[in-house]
C-alpha cells in the first residue's frame, strides 16, 4: 500500500505553496502525522498532530462539543468537520486535517460498519468532509484512511 510518490507530491506542493498543516487523528492513531513527517524537511510545513482517540480527548484537546458527539457520534461527518476546524484554529495553520472512523475488526454497527471513515479538511476558504467505507481489516483501514487523506490533501492544495 505504501506509495512514496504521493508523500513526495504532498510535501512538494505544501512547500511550493508555502502552506502549513496540522492533523487531528482518531482512527489512524497518529499514522497520518507519521507519514507526513517521513519526508526530510517536513518541519517546513508540518506544525503538529494530536491523537484524539477517545471522546473525552476530542472534547478536552479540540473542544468538540459533547452535544456533537452525543447527537452524531464520534464517527460522523459533523465530528470530522469540527476536528479539522479546531486543529486548524488551535495550531494556526493553513490546513487542518482530521480522521475519524471504525478501524475494526470490532466496534461496528449496522449504521456505522467496520471500515467506515471520515476525513475532514479545513482551510480559510472552506471545510470539506469525505466519507469512505473500507474493509474489515484494521491495519488496512488505518493505511487506506491515511492515503485517502493524503490524496484529499493534495487535491485541496492543487485547488489553492
If phi > 0 it is left, if psi is from -120 to 50 it is alpha, else beta; for residue 49 that is beta
Supply the CATH number for residue 144's domain.
Answer: 3.90.950.20
Domain total in the chain = 1
Beta-strand pair 46-51/21-25: parallel
pLDDT, residue 126, reads: 96
Q: How far apart are CA 131 and CA 97, in angstroms?
A: 14
| For residue 3, pLDDT beyond 80 | no
Q: How far apart are CA 100 and CA 71, in angstroms?
A: 16
Q: Which residue, among 130, 133, 118, has the nearest Cα to 25 in the 3D structure?
A: 118
Q: How far apart are CA 114 and CA 3, in angstroms?
A: 24
**Which tens digits make up the pLDDT trace of 107-128?**
999 999 999 999 999 999 999 9
Q: What's the mean pLDDT in 13-19?
A: 97
Q: How far apart are CA 78 and CA 33, in angstroms?
A: 22
Strand partners, 102: none
pTM above 0.95, yes or no: yes
Q: What's the mean pLDDT in 10-37?
A: 97
Per-position DSSP letters for 121-158, written without gaps between them: EE-SS-EEEEEEE--S-HHHHHHHHHHHHHHHHHHHHH
- Structural domain including 11 reads 4-158
pLDDT, residue 2, reads: 61
Q: Which residue, among 63, 59, 61, has the nearest Cα to 49 in the 3D structure?
A: 61
- Burial zone of 83 (CB within 10 Å; 0-12 exposed, 13-18 middle, 19+ buried): buried
**Which tens digits make up the pLDDT trace of 53-80?**
999 999 999 999 999 999 999 999 999 9
Amino acid at each position: 500500500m505504501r506509495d512514496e510518490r504521493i508523500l513526495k507530491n504532498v510535501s512538494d506542493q505544501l512547500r511550493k505553496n508555502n502552506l502549513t498543516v496540522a492533523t487531528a487523528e482518531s482512527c489512524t492513531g497518529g499514522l497520518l502525522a507519521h507519514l507526513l513527517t517521513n519526508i526530510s524537511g517536513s518541519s517546513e510545513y508540518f506544525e503538529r498532530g494530536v491523537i484524539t482517540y477517545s471522546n473525552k480527548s476530542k472534547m478536552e484537546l479540540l473542544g468538540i462539543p459533547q452535544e456533537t458527539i452525543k447527537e452524531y457520534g464520534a464517527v460522523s461527518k459533523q465530528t470530522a468537520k469540527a476536528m479539522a476546524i479546531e486543529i486548524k484554529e488551535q495550531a494556526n495553520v493553513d490546513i487542518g486535517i482530521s480522521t475519524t472512523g471504525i478501524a475494526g475488526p470490532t466496534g461496528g454497527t449496522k449504521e456505522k460498519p467496520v471500515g467506515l471513515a471520515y476525513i475532514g479538511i479545513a482551510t480559510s476558504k472552506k471545510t470539506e468532509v469525505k466519507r469512505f467505507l473500507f474493509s474489515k481489516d484494521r491495519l488496512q483501514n488505518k493505511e487506506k484512511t491515511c492515503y485517502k487523506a493524503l490524496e484529499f490533501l493534495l487535491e485541496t492544495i492543487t485547488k489553492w
